[in-house]
Structures are given as C-alpha cells and as structure tokens.
C-alpha cells in the first residue's frame, strides 16, 4: 500500500504544488476565504466526496471576530474576480467559508482531518531572495499573505483527498476532511464543533507545517502545551466636555481605558501554571481640549489550561466593573476569539509515529512536542473528540523555513508538504484497517 500511495503521490505532486501556489497567490483572511473554500468544494466533489459547506457546517452565532459588511462585500467581489468557483461561492458569502468533504469507503471507523484555510494581514516581501517572488506566485493582495503555511495545509488536504479517492476500493472506514476558516485569531473551530461537524468521528488529526525549528526530516506526531485563550475587544463610552471650561462635566473614557490597562497587567499570576494577559492596542480621544468620550482596547488572556485562562478572564471582568464605576463610563465587551487548553492522546501519537517511522522521508520521529506554548482553536475539536472517548492528535511537520511564521519572508519547503500528504494518506489507510 505504501508503494501505491507513493506512486499516486508522484503523479499528483505537481498538481498539489499548483494548489499551494494558487492559494498563496490569492490569500484570504479569516471569514473571507471564498475563493479558497469554493475551489476546495469543487475539487472534493470532483473526487467523489459528498460535500457540505457554509451554513450547514457552521453555527452562525458561534462565529467569532467577524469582519464588517463592507469587508465581506469587497472580498467577495474580489474572490469572484480571482477565480472562485461560482457554483459554490454564493453559499460561502458573509463569513460562512467552511467546507467538509466525506467519503465512505466501507466498514470501519470514521477518521477526521482538519485543514485551516486563512491567511494573515501581513505584507509579503517582493524581493529576489523570496521563492514565491522569484517563481511568480507571490501574493497579489496588498497587505495579505499566507505567512503561516495554511496554503500548504489546504493543498495537503486536497492531496490526501486525491490519495483516498484513487484507492477508495482498498481503504476502509469513513473519511471526513474538514476545511476550517479563521484559525488565525482562534475564531473558526468553535462554530464548526457547535454545528455538529464532528459527530460520529472516532479519530481526529490536525497538522501544521513548521512551528518547531528542527527542520526537514523531523516530525512530532503529538503536541501538548496548548494555551487556552480569550480575545476581547473592549469599548469605553464616557461623556465629552470642554477640558478647560467644564472638565467636571465630562466622563473620561481614555483615563478609564488606561487605568484598566495598567490594572490588567497587575493581575496576580496563578501558582498552578502559566497565566498571561496582554493589551495590544489602546485608542482613545478626539482632541487635546476635549474630555475623551470614546476608547477602544484590544486584549487577550492566556492560561496553561482552560481553568487558568478562566481565572485571568474573571479578573479582567472584575477590573472592568470597578473602572466603570470609578470613571462613570459605560463598558461593552465583545469576545472575538478563543481556544481551549488541550493535549494530544499519547497512545494515538505513538501509533502515528510508528507509521511515520516506516516512511523514508522522516529521519527523526518524535512522539510528543510538549512546549507548544501558543494557542490553536483546533483544541475545541480535540476536546470534543476526547470528551466522547475518541482520540485526537496534532502533528508538527518539520521543514526548513526561510523566516519565522507571520513574517513577510516566510516560506517552507514544498517537498515537506508532499511528505505530509504521504504521511496523512498512510495514516488514513492504517487507521481504517
């Protein structure tokens, strides 16, 4: 079977690379991935998968951090212009850019794999030292770039779909390929989980190119150390007044926000583990002689577990209550992203590791990377599976990076993306037996 998978991958490798380069050239940020998702839906349908998308695989009210209506309209028009498949695009409008492809290959377990779709608001470097620029697939969208490898993830998902489709008569089980929007900012997974996308799934796998600095030929088949997080947009509304003539008649939103920001960073850290808070943006005021009426603050909390993150969030809310009273201002809070704490199933990671050991492309196979210390909303999916007695793991695929993630020079080795397709195809076959 391994030889058959390699043979098919050799035939499909050019197409998989073309997928990646096309997605890289036309990147789309979270909730606007209309072109990307429509192409995914079209390709999965062509490969014989039953496809569900849009409102059928997203719970509308559970989506977080949505763009404005103007952004939706502008990005939809651009997606159509840049080659979105019109048969599917209309179902993906206005922040419903999720796709799930399912293929039943006979009796056996249901195996899910998650692939994230979105790009980042990062300017790509247009210089000869950057391969996408040198080879003509640099981002066409100013200020938007696939700077984290999700273009490779989507291409990997379609590559796995090709392998399963070609060999469906020899595979067993049901395969559910989940293409998730808005991973950046941890905004998309929760709504897919609440829509019931994972119902019936026995085993679930996520994967990421890079992250660790060990380079090509290295793989970690399980990951722990995910931090739980909550992302908040906080708005303060006071009363404007003349700063010289009648300052006592104003309620100062800027001072309220500034006081809150200082107090957030003074929250006592918890002895049970990692607890973090960060104010990343504070905007306020309209002029030097006006008591500020409005202030806007962007904040995140993090914790080594969901419980620890909840502790930080509770302290943040107490501070906001006190500041509102102190400065006599209104405070509104919007949650725009969140993720949970989670850990891969070690026994499941070991099974994946045994499969990776049999592939010549991986020289260093590690079962567990336990120092992730970042956030991923795939954790919602992992916990949903594990809570029902299933198994889940998050794989880190080593590659030689040209620059760190979220950097304008970011790029990875496409050969490592193809190795990821081979791994996931092999895992899909072995788990279905």
| pLDDT value of residue 346 | 97
| pLDDT value of residue 316 | 98
Q: What is the H or E stretch that residue 333 is in?
A: strand 330-339
- Largest interatomic CA distance in the chain: 83
**How, if at all, do strands 218-220 and 364-366 pair?**
parallel
Mean pLDDT by 10 residues, the chain (433 residues): 96 98 98 98 98 98 97 98 97 98 96 98 95 97 98 98 97 97 98 98 98 90 97 98 96 98 97 97 97 98 97 98 98 98 97 96 95 93 98 97 95 97 98 93
Residue 367: Cβ within 10 Å count: 21
| pLDDT value of residue 373 | 83
Residue 340: partners with Cβ closer than 8 Å, 6 or more residues away:
226, 228, 306, 379, 380, 383
| pLDDT value of residue 298 | 98
| pLDDT value of residue 214 | 83
Burial tier of 298 (Cβ tally within 10 Å: 0-12, 13-18, 19+)? middle
Which one-letter DSSP state was computed for residue 123?
P
Structure tokens at 365: 């196979």
The predicted model scores a pTM of 0.96
| pLDDT value of residue 22 | 98
Please provide the size of the chain in residues: 433
Helix axes 150-166, 2-25, angle to 10 degrees: 140
Which residue from 116, 108, 171, 170 is spatially nearest to 146, judged by alpha carbons?
116
> Where does residue 200 fall: left (phi above 0), alpha (psi -120 to 50 degrees), or beta otherwise?
left
Task: Show me where the domains of the chain are located.
Answer: 2-225+341-432, 228-339
| pLDDT value of residue 171 | 96
Which residue from 25, 23, 11 is spatially nearest to 135, judged by alpha carbons?
25
| pLDDT value of residue 238 | 98
Question: Could you name the CATH architecture of 2-225+341-432?
Answer: 3-Layer(aba) Sandwich (3.40)
- What CATH number should be reported for the domain whose range is 228-339? 3.30.70.360
The residues pairing with 50 across neighbouring beta strands, listed in sequence order, are 102
373 within 8 A of 224, measured Cβ to Cβ: no
| pLDDT value of residue 371 | 86
| pLDDT value of residue 318 | 98
Cα angle, residue 206 at apex, residues 201 and 211 outer, rounded to 5°: 165
Sequence-ordered alpha helix ranges (H) in 232-293: 253-264
Helix axes 34-46, 2-25, angle to 10 degrees: 150
């Amino acid at each position: 079977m391994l030889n058959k998978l390699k043979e098919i991958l050799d035939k499909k490798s050019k197409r998989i690379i073309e997928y990646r380069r096309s997605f890289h050239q036309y990147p789309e940020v979270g909730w606007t991935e209309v072109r990307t998702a429509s192409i995914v839906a079209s390709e999965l349908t062509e490969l014989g998968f039953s496809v569900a998308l849009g409102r059928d695989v997203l719970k509308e009210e559970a989506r977080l951090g949505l763009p404005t209506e103007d952004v939706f309209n502008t990005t939809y028009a651009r997606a159509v212009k840049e080659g979105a498949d019109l048969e599917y695009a209309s179902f993906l409008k206005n922040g419903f850019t999720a796709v799930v492809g399912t293929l039943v290959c006979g009796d056996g377990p249901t195996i899910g794999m998650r692939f994230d779709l979105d790009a980042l608001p990062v300017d790509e470097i247009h210089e000869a030292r950057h391969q996408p620029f040198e080879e003509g697939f640099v981002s066409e969208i100013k200020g938007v770039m696939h700077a984290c490898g999700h273009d490779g993830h989507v291409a990997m998902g379609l590559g796995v779909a090709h392998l399963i489709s070609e060999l469906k008569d020899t595979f067993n089980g049901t395969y559910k390929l989940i293409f998730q929007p808005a991973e950046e900012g941890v905004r998309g997974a929760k709504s897919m989980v609440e829509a019931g996308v994972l119902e019936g799934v026995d085993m679930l796998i996520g994967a990421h190119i890079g992250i660790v600095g060990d380079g090509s030929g290295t793989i970690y088949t399980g990951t722990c150390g995910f931090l739980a997080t909550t992302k908040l947009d906080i708005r303060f509304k006071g009363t404007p007044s003349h700063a010289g003539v009648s300052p006592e008649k104003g309620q100062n939103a800027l001072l309220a926000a500034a006081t809150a920001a200082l107090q957030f960073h003074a929250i006592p850290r918890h002895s049970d583990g990692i607890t973090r808070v960060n104010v990343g943006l504070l905007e306020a005021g309209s002029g030097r002689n006006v008591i500020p009426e409005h202030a806007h603050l962007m904040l995140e909390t993090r914790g080594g577990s969901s419980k620890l993150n909840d502790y930080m969030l509770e302290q943040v809310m107490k501070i906001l209550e006190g500041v509102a009273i102190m400065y006599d201002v209104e405070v509104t809070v919007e949650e725009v992203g969140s993720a949970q704490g989670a850990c891969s199933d070690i026994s499941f990671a070991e099974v994946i590791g045994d499969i990776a050991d049999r592939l010549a492309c991986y020289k260093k196979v590690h079962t567990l990377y336990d120092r992730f210390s970042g956030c991923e909303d795939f954790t919602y999916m992992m916990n949903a599976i594990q809570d029902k007695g299933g198994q889940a793991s998050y794989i880190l695929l080593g590659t030689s990076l040209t620059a760190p993630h979220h950097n304008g020079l970011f790029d990875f080795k496409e050969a490592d993306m193809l190795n990821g397709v081979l791994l996931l195809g092999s895992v899909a076959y072995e788990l279905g037996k």
